[in-house]
Structure formats: structure tokens, C-alpha cells
Amino acid sequence: MNINQRGSVLITDDVHGILTEGLQKLGYEIDYRPTIPYDDIFPIIQNYVGIIINSKVKMTDQLMGLSPKMKFIGRLGSGLEIIDLEAARKRHIAVFSAPEGNRNAVAEHAMGQLLALSNQLIWADRDVRRMQWDREARRGWELEGKTVGIIGFGNNGSAFAQKLMGFDVHVLAYDKYKTSYSEGYPHVEETSLEHLKLQSDIISLHVPLDNSTHFLIDSNFISKCKDGVIIINSSRGKVVHTEALIAALESGKVGGACLDVFENEKTDTYSDNEALMYQKLYKFNQVILSPHVAGWTVQSKFKIANSLLKQISNLSSK
């Protein structure tokens, strides 16, 4: 098939060149607009047979209705809550994602945040740069012997369990959609969510955002946890109720948190109440923060693009 014979694909975010080059070899014309505003997509969407998106673009029923030629949607990453899957199914639009592309990156990031928290590395680094040498104030605590609860044992949760294997911890795992998933993980025990809450010293979240996980970690959930529990969230911000987390940090019920995602990640849209809430959160020394970059590595950029290319290639060969 000659180049450009298959139609045009709109790419709305920065991607690794293997995807653009590969799509061109498959016969697609590439319209590469990584900085395109969301609203600018509506008047041109009818021109494309495919679209590659990240979190800024919501593929709604309305938007799909404006694109009668659309054959596929490629999600740069894992979260499919930004795509109306029923609307895509109804219109016979294939939906591709690449959760395996950044699973290792997310797991390493969660592990890094946890180790930074337990060893006070952020504050120790700041002390040394200020030529302060207070070793006792920076005494850490070890993971060995701790119980780590993992909620969601898909790509990211299982990868995090793999990283924990060498730390002599006991892992409790809960996944509402799976059973018998811990084979190959001798340190992992499948359990109920209630048991995980009661027994875990550390709880790491690896779930999609849907009606069942929205504000999963709220005041009621936290009240059933161990005193001093550590919360790690590298899944979706709205899985954790921020105000409940802040209250638990203030009381000591939660001993610390590692957060890569937040309820609202658009700082220029904060309400006055949100601004105050986040200012309060940022003041806790026992909280490690990062700007939704857990899956954002040089390697994951390639892996995600390569995964989508393979899936689109399979579709195109049919």
C-alpha cells in the first residue's frame, strides 16, 4: 500500500518517533500537533481515521460523533476514563492503550518515593546543602518486616510487587476483578480489602478511576487502617479524598504519603478553597510529591509508542 493511502492520523501529544515513523510506513498521513488545544480539535476531527491522545483530550460521544471516518483511538498510557468506551464500541472504533508501556516506570517511581520518605532523603539533601549536619534528626526507618498492601494487581500493581521482592516485606494484594493472580510472587498474599486495610503498614494504589474507586481513600477507609499508615498514590488523583488525607496527616492516623497524582492537576484552575487545601498539603514534611510523572521516563516513552504501533499495525493488517 502506498504512503498516505490509509488516511490521516491526528497526534495530539508528544510521542516517540517510532510511532510517527511506523504509522507512515503503514500508509498513514501524520498530522502531528502535540500542542493543539482541545477545543481546536472539534472543527477538524472529521478529517481523521485515527487519533493519538493523552490526558488533555477527552474522547466523548460528541467528539466521536463528529468523526465519521474514525477507525481507532490510541491512548498514550493506561487510563481509559478519558474515552467513552461505549460510544467507541457503538461506532466500531477500536481503542488501544499501552498499560504495559509504563508499568516498570510507575513501579520504580513508587519505590523511589517510598524510599525517599522512609529515609528522609529530600530533607537530608536540603540539610547538607545548607551545611547542616543533624544525623539524628534524619534517622530513617526500614521497610524490612513491614506489610505492604497493594490495591489493584494489574500491570502497575504487579510490577510494584516485583520491585518489593528483595526488601523482605510481606505483601497483601487485593484486586476486585481477579483471583489466583499471585502465582510467581511468593511474598504476595491475596486477601480482602478489609483485611488489607487492617494489616498494612503501607498501602499503594494501582487502580483505574471509575465510580467504585472515586474517593476510595476517604475518612472511613483511613479510620480502618493501622495508625501511622503510609499511603502511596500513583494511579489517579481522585482515588484519594485530599481533605480526608490532610486531616489524617494532621492527626497522625496517616504517617506519611507519596503522591504523584492529585484531584486537580491544573493549578491555574484552583478555586480559593483548593488553593488553601493544597498549600496545607504541601507543608507536611512527611509527604513526597511529584507532578504526575511516575510513568514519564525516556524508556516508557518508547515502550508506549511501540506498543500502540504494534496494535494499530495488527488492526491495519486485517
CA–CA gap between residue 150 and residue 135 (Å, rounded): 32
In DSSP terms, 189 is beta-bridged to 172
For residue 20, the surrounding DSSP H or E stretch is helix 17-26
Copy the grid coordinates of residue 89: 464500541
Q: How far is CA 111 from CA 104, 106, 115, 159, in A?
A: 10, 9, 6, 10
What is the predicted pLDDT for the residue at 307? 97
Give yes or no: residues 198 and 81 share one domain.
no
Question: How many domains does the structure of the chain reveal?
Answer: 2
Nearest Cα to Cα of residue 160 among 209, 229, 213, 206: 206
Region of 168 (left: φ > 0; alpha: ψ -120 to 50; beta: rest) is left
Q: Residue 113: is its pLDDT beyond 90?
A: yes
Residue 79: pLDDT band (50, 70, 90) is confident
Is residue 156 domain-resident?
yes
Query: Cα-atom radius of gyration of the chain, to the nearest Å?
Result: 22
DSSP 297-313: -HHHHHHHHHHHHHHHH
Question: Could you tell me what percent of the chain has a pLDDT over 90?
Answer: 95
Q: Which residue has the cell 461506532?
A: 91
Model confidence pLDDT, tens digit, residues 178-210: 999 999 999 999 999 999 999 999 999 999 999
> Helix or strand or coil: residue 23?
helix
Q: How far is CA 116 from CA 119, 122, 142, in A?
A: 5, 6, 11
Provide the pLDDT confidence category of residue 3 given band limits of 50, 70 and 90. very low
Domain of 259: which CATH number?
Answer: 3.40.50.720
Amino acid 2: pLDDT: 44
For residues 94 and 108, state if they share a domain: no
Reference 41, options 78, 81, 70, 7; nearest CA is 70
- The CA–CA distances, whole Å, from 245 to 119, 127, 235, 255, 258 equal 22, 27, 16, 10, 11
Give the integer Cα–Cα distance in Å for 246 and 244.
5
On whether residue 154 sits in a domain, the answer given is yes
The boundaries of the domain holding residue 230 are: 103-289
Q: State mean pLDDT over 76-93.
A: 94
46 & 93 share domain: yes
What residue type is 98 in one-letter code? A
39 contacts: CB under 8 Å, gap ≥ 6? none
Question: 3-class SS at 124?
Answer: helix
Measured distance CA(311)–CA(313) in Å, rounded:
5
Contact 94, 74 (CB under 8 A): no
CB neighbour class for 62 (10 Å; exposed up to 12, middle 13-18, buried from 19): exposed
Q: Are residues 269 and 170 in the same domain?
A: yes
Please check the confidence at residue 251 and state whether its pLDDT lies above 60.
yes
The answer to whether position 1 is within a domain reads: no
Phi, psi (5° rounding) for residue 145? 85, -10
Cell readout for 133 is 549536619
Q: Are residues 266 and 310 in the same domain?
A: no
25 and 115 in a single domain? The answer is no
Looking at the fold, whether 94 and 115 belong to one and the same domain comes out as no
* Nearest alpha carbon to residue 138 among 162, 122, 154: 122
In a domain, 294, yes or no: no
Q: Which residue has the cell 497483601?
A: 172
Same domain, 198 and 263: yes
Q: How confident is the model at residue 39 (pLDDT cuts 50, 70, 90)?
A: very high
Residue 70 has pLDDT above 60, yes or no: yes
Amino acid at 113: Q
Kindly indicate the confidence band of residue 1, based on its pLDDT and cuts at 50, 70 and 90.
very low
Q: Is residue 2 part of a domain?
A: no
Residue 110 and residue 202 in one domain? yes
Catalytic (active-site) positions: 236, 265, 292
Task: Identify the band that residue 5 occupies on the pLDDT scale cut at 50, 70 and 90.
Answer: confident
Average the pLDDT over 130-147 and give the result: 96
CB 73 within 8 A of CB 59: yes
pLDDT in tens, 144-189: 999 999 999 999 999 999 999 999 999 999 999 999 999 999 999 9
Give the residue-averaged pLDDT of 66-88: 94
Contact (Cβ atoms closer than 8 angstroms) between residue 148 and residue 170: yes
Q: Are residues 210 and 86 in the same domain?
A: no
Fill in the DSSP letter of residue 285: T
60 and 166 housed in the same domain: no
Average pLDDT, the chain: 96
- Section 233-259 average pLDDT: 98
- Are 202 and 212 within one domain? yes
Contact 292, 261 (CB under 8 A): yes
